[in-house]
C-alpha cells in the first residue's frame, strides 16, 4: 500500500495482518481524491476531515497528504487505530490527527468526541461490505448534522449495494415544515471492479411535499 498523492506521495504504509481489515486499493483511493480535488469548493488547507471506519488510516492520510487541516480517525477496532497511528507516524502526520474509538452502530459517549470536532468539510466512510454499514453511516451523519453545508461525504460499498438518493438532515421530511429541506444528496457513483464509491453532498432542496 502506498499514498497516491500530495506531500507523502509514494510513501509505503502498513497493511493489516490476519485479514481483519479490507483497505481501499491504491487505484480507488487515487481516483476518489482526484474527483474530490476537482469538486470540493474549499481548499484542503481549510478542510477538517472525518475518516469513519478508518481502518489502516489510508483514506485520512491521503487527505492529510494533500494538506487537510486536521483528520479525525474513528474506528471501533483497537487494532485498526493502532495501525493508523503507525501509518500516521511513518508519514509524519500524527500531529494533525486525532484518533477515537467509536462505533456508529451504537449510541455511546465517544460519539460526542467525534462530533465535538465537527462540522466536517469531508467525511470518508469505508465500512465492511457485508453489514449495510454504508447506509448506516449516512444516517448517522444526517442524524447528527456533522457535515458542513456544501460539504462532501464519500461512501465505499460493494458494487450493487442499494444506497439512498437523498437522506434528510435530522430525520424524516415534514410536509409544509420548510421550503428548503437540507440533506445528503447522491451526486455521483463510480464503479471500480466490484467496488462502488458514492459521492454525497450536503444540499438544500425544495420541499416537494408542500
Q: Around 16, how many Cα atoms within 13 Å sit in the side-chain half-sphere?
A: 19
- What is the pLDDT confidence band of residue 175, given thresholds at 50, 70 and 90? low
Q: Quick check: helix, strand or coil at residue 33?
A: helix
Question: Which pLDDT tens digit goes with each residue over 73-132?
Answer: 999 999 999 999 999 999 999 999 999 999 887 777 778 889 999 899 999 999 988 778
* 1 is a domain residue: no
Domain-embedded: residue 59? yes
With a CB cutoff of 8 Å and minimum separation 6, the contacts of 188 are 35, 198, 199
Instruction: Provide the CATH number for the domain around residue 197.
Output: 3.40.50.150
In a domain, 123, yes or no: yes
pTM, whole model, 2 decimals?
A: 0.91
Please indicate, yes or no, if residue 187 is contained in any of the structural domains: yes
Rounded Cα–Cα distance for residues 114 and 125 (Å): 14
- Print the domain residue range for 125: 6-206
Q: How many domains does the chain have?
A: 1
Amino acid at each position: 500500500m502506498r499514498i497516491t498523492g500530495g506531500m507523502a506521495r509514494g510513501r509505503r504504509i502498513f497493511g493489516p495482518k490476519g485479514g481483519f481489515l479490507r483497505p481501499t486499493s491504491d487505484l480507488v483511493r487515487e481516483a476518489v481524491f482526484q474527483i474530490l480535488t476537482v469538486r470540493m469548493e474549499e481548499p484542503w488547507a481549510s478542510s477538517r476531515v472525518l475518516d469513519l471506519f478508518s481502518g489502516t488510516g489510508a483514506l485520512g492520510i491521503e487527505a492529510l497528504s494533500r494538506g487537510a487541516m486536521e483528520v479525525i480517525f474513528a474506528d471501533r477496532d483497537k487494532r485498526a487505530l493502532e495501525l493508523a497511528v503507525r501509518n500516521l507516524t511513518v508519514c509524519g502526520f500524527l500531529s494533525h490527527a486525532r484518533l477515537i474509538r467509536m462505533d456508529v452502530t451504537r449510541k455511546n459517549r465517544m460519539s460526542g468526541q467525534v462530533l465535538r470536532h465537527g462540522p466536517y468539510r469531508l467525511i470518508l466512510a469505508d465500512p465492511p461490505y457485508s453489514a449495510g454499514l454504508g447506509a448506516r453511516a449516512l444516517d448517522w451523519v444526517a442524524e447528527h448534522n456533522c457535515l458542513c453545508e456544501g460539504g462532501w461525504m464519500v461512501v465505499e460499498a460493494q458494487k450493487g449495494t442499494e444506497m439512498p438518493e437523498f437522506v434528510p438532515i435530522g430525520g424524516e421530511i415534514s410536509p409544509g415544515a420548510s421550503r428548503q429541506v437540507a440533506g445528503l444528496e447522491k451526486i455521483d457513483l463510480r464503479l471500480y471492479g466490484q467496488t462502488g464509491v458514492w459521492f454525497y453532498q450536503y444540499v438544500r432542496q425544495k420541499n416537494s411535499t408542500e
